[in-house]
Amino acid sequence: MSEVLDVMVVGGGQAGLAVGYHLRRLGGLDFLVLDAQPTPGGAWQHTWESLRLFSPAAYSSLPGRIMPPQQGEEYPTAAHVVDYLTDYEHRYELPVQRSVRVEAVRRDGDHLRVETDSGVRRARAVVSTTGTWTRPFLPAVAGRNSFSGRQLHTVEYRTPEEFAGMRVIVVGGGNSGAQIAADLVHHAELTWVTRRPTRFLADDIDGRALFDHATARRRAFDQGLADGGGVASLGDIVAVPPVRRARDTGLLKARPMFASVTANGVEWADGTQAEADAIIWCTGFRPALAHLAPLGLRGSRGRISIRGTEAVGEPRLHLLGYGDWTGPASATLVGVGRPAREAVRDIAALLGRDGRRG
Ligand code: FAD
């Protein structure tokens, strides 16, 4: 039987690295991070080329190390984030084992059994940080399967050149939809469709303000004060420079959501139609939690009920990075540090370690 580690972190993206950082810092707990991908950088390795972070580098940092600025870019690219995460992992000598996919986590007496595609591991506690990128969400829209053109999700979009001269419908009014629509404005015949009227944040508001808002909301919540609403109450779209430029050309205008997809395009409730060669669904993600199914913890909306970051019903399991439900701004670079620290603190207490073991 393999040795029983103190902590197994499942997922080696930014959330997993932040947990690793705090485990290193605390000391006294042996741990391993398992990541399904062959190289560091989590989901940032797969985003479209022109993606820009919605905050400047210095405001997009994990605990311990400020993200260095990117030459010539106020809002860094995804490639810059991959470099930063790669450096972070090496700098703190985080023990990440790659190309290891966790298939199931089960209770096994006094520990958790972690089944992977390369054998069984064991740990006294598990932190799940598998993100959402591997679970793209497509809404149920009438006729979606009848479309004869190409359909893809945000996760498959790379460059606008691929769609040069094509009639493209982009669906979604969040940051992904806005950035991809902006990317296509000068390359394709674009129709941008959003479920509700687009809400651009003021040009001087970016991820910094969103983070401050999430932090203030958390403080209000801790103090039992009234909830002023999540970051969504500020707006949906950060006007990063490429989006701002496209918006200012007047070409980035959204139409309301269509009623159905047809063989050749889409149709609105009033019978208006638009023909299309491709539909790009920028319609979000769900948490990648299939490996936790054997624990029987599922809560509503495909999530797991948690208190802080700890799973209700399984104190040896913590979750973070999936969204605000796992801590305010937990699904951001700058926001994941705090829930990571709290998760490590709770696990150390659960395992009866004070972090100063020799
Ligand atoms: P991921 O980066 O997805 O990492 C999870 C890791 O777990 C991956 O390496 C994956 O392969 C691995 N994994 C998954 N399942 C398993 C398994 N079963 N076994 C082993 N390994 C597994 N945040 C910001 O702070 N600023 C931004 O500007 C910003 N822009 C964004 C733009 C887009 C388009 C999106 C989608 C998100 C953006 N975010 C941004 C949010 C967030 O920072 C990213 O989604 C980030 O990648 C989340 O990190 P993570 O570590 O939680 O997940």
Task: Assign 3-class secondary structure to the chain.
Answer: CCCEEEEEEECCCHHHHHHHHHHHHHCCCCEEEEECCCCCCHHHHHCCCCCECCCCHHHCCECCECCCCECCECCCEHHHHHHHHHHHHHHCCCCEEECCCEEEEEEECCEEEEEECCEEEEEEEEEECCCCCCCECCCCCECHHHCCCEEEEHHHCCCHHHHCCCEEEEECCCHHHHHHHHHHCCCCEEEEEECCCCCECCCCCCHHHHHHHHHHHHHHHHCCCCCCCCHHHCCCECCCHHHHHHHHHCCCCEEECCCEECCCEEECCCCCEEECCEEEECCCECCCCHHHHHHCCECHHHCECEECCEECCEEEEEECCCCHHHCCCCCCCCCCHHHHHHHHHHHHHHCCCCCCCC
Span 144-200+236-281: which CATH code? 3.50.50.60
Ranked by mean pLDDT, which of 168-172, 205-209, 325-329 comes out on top?
168-172
Q: What tens digit of pLDDT does each residue of 240-249 get?
A: 889 999 999 9
Q: What tens digit of pLDDT does each residue of 54-86 get?
A: 889 999 999 999 999 999 998 999 999 999 999
Which of ligand 1's atoms lies nearest the C-alpha of 329? 25
Q: Is the pLDDT of residue 265 over 50?
A: yes
Residue owning the nearest CA to atom 24 of ligand 1: 332
pLDDT at 356: 46
Q: Is the pLDDT of residue 112 over 80?
A: yes
Average pLDDT over the chain reads 92
- In angstroms, what is the span from residue 274 Cα to ligand 1's centroid? 34
For residue 133, name the pLDDT band (cuts at 50, 70, 90): very high
Ligand 1 site residues, Cβ closer than 6 angstroms: 10-16, 34-37, 42-44, 47, 53-55, 60, 101-102, 129-131, 133-134, 175-176, 207, 288, 291, 321, 331-334
Span 4-134+286-350: which CATH code? 3.50.50.60
Q: Is the pLDDT of residue 218 over 90?
A: no
Residue owning the nearest CA to atom 39 of ligand 1: 332
Q: Where in the chain is the domain with CATH 3.50.50.60?
A: 4-134+286-350, 144-200+236-281
